[in-house]
Amino acid sequence: MADTLVERVTGSPAEVASPVAVHLVMADRTAFAGDPEPATVTGYGPIPAEIARRMVAAAVTDRRSAATLRRLYRRGGALIAMESRARRFPKVLAAFIATRDHTCRTPYCDAPIRHIDHAHPHHDGGPTSAVNGQGMCECCNYAKEASGWQVSTTVESGSHTTEFVTPTGAHYRSTAPPPPGAPQLTVATIGTRVRVDVDAMRCPAA
Ligand SMILES: [Zn+2]
């Protein structure tokens, strides 16, 4: 039954290997330093760090597979920006947006991404960029083209944020999930002072 399914889906015999790409995103410390921070599989969700490391080990030691390591840089809670002059999102930019968004950006949808959409339509001057681009499922992408919908995107506090205004006037916001890796903490001066005071209270002799 599994062989039949593969043949029907791929159109080629089951004994002929079909290429399948799996996008595994993890922090560098998870990959190389044994950090327990979960990794994520684009379109699926988080997986345990140990499983992710085993997948990488299997991919790089199996001659039949081709593993590519691509570095993604994060600043605050956001991945880097990219932009293109073309109407269609170039492959690398589309893969970048799908990696950033994981699933459809419509609030409460969570369906797999099928389209990389211009939040501000391209025919209306919307740029082909990481900020204006968002991952959408087919249903939500077609629905948002109906009259009365307004969609805008921004990068706020380092996170890519989309605001949807529905035909009835309701506002919904959707924020791209943070990439794997420990959150970058900002310690304000007052926070440092409070911590020092608490330490002094615990250890009066010091
Ligand atoms: Zn959707």
Q: Tell me which residue of 112, 94, 96 sits closest to 25, measured CA to CA.
A: 96
Higher pLDDT, 166 or 203: 166
Residue 97 lies in a domain: yes
Whether residue 148 sits in one domain with residue 122: yes
Whether residue 134 sits in one domain with residue 101: yes
Whether residue 162 sits in one domain with residue 103: yes
Q: Tell me which residue of 130, 131, 136 sits closest to 109, measured CA to CA.
A: 136
Whether residue 167 sits in one domain with residue 89: yes
Whether residue 83 sits in one domain with residue 52: no
SS (H, E, C) the chain: CHHHHHHHHHCCCCCCCCCCCCCEECCHHHHHCCCCCCEEECCCEEECHHHHHHHHHHHHHCCCCCCCCCCCCEECCEECCCEECCCCCCHHHHHHHHHHHCECCCCCCCCECCEEEECCCHHHCCCEECCCEEEECHHHHHHHCCCCCEEEEEEECCEEEEEEECCCCCEEEEECCCCCCCCCCCCCHHHHHHHHHHHHHHCCCC
143 Cα to the center of ligand 1, angstroms: 9
Find the radius of gyration of the CA atoms of the chain. Answer: 22
Whether residue 165 sits in one domain with residue 139: yes
CA distance 111 to 104: 5
Residue 15 lies in a domain: yes
All residues with CB under 5 Å from ion ligand 1: 104, 106, 109, 111, 137, 140
Residue 69 lies in a domain: no
Whether residue 56 sits in one domain with residue 128: no
Predicted confidence (pLDDT) at residue 77 exceeds the cutoff of 80: no
Q: Give the tokens for residue 136.
A: 């959408």
Whether residue 98 sits in one domain with residue 57: no
Whether residue 78 sits in one domain with residue 45: no
Mean pLDDT within 148-169: 89
Residue 188 lies in a domain: no
Residue 39 lies in a domain: yes
Whether residue 102 sits in one domain with residue 153: yes
Mean pLDDT within 177-200: 50
pLDDT of residue 106: 93
Whether residue 19 sits in one domain with residue 55: yes
Residue 32 lies in a domain: yes
34 Cα to the center of ligand 1, angstroms: 35
CA distance 72 to 27: 9
| Band (14; pLDDT cuts 50, 70, 90) | confident
141 Cα to the center of ligand 1, angstroms: 7
Q: Which domain holds residue 165?
A: 74-175
Residue 195 lies in a domain: no
For residue range 86-109, list pLDDT tens digits in order.
678 888 888 889 988 989 999 999
134 Cα to the center of ligand 1, angstroms: 11
pLDDT of residue 199: 41
Question: How many domains does the structure of the chain reveal?
Answer: 2
Residue type, 38: P
Whether residue 84 sits in one domain with residue 47: no
Residue 206 lies in a domain: no
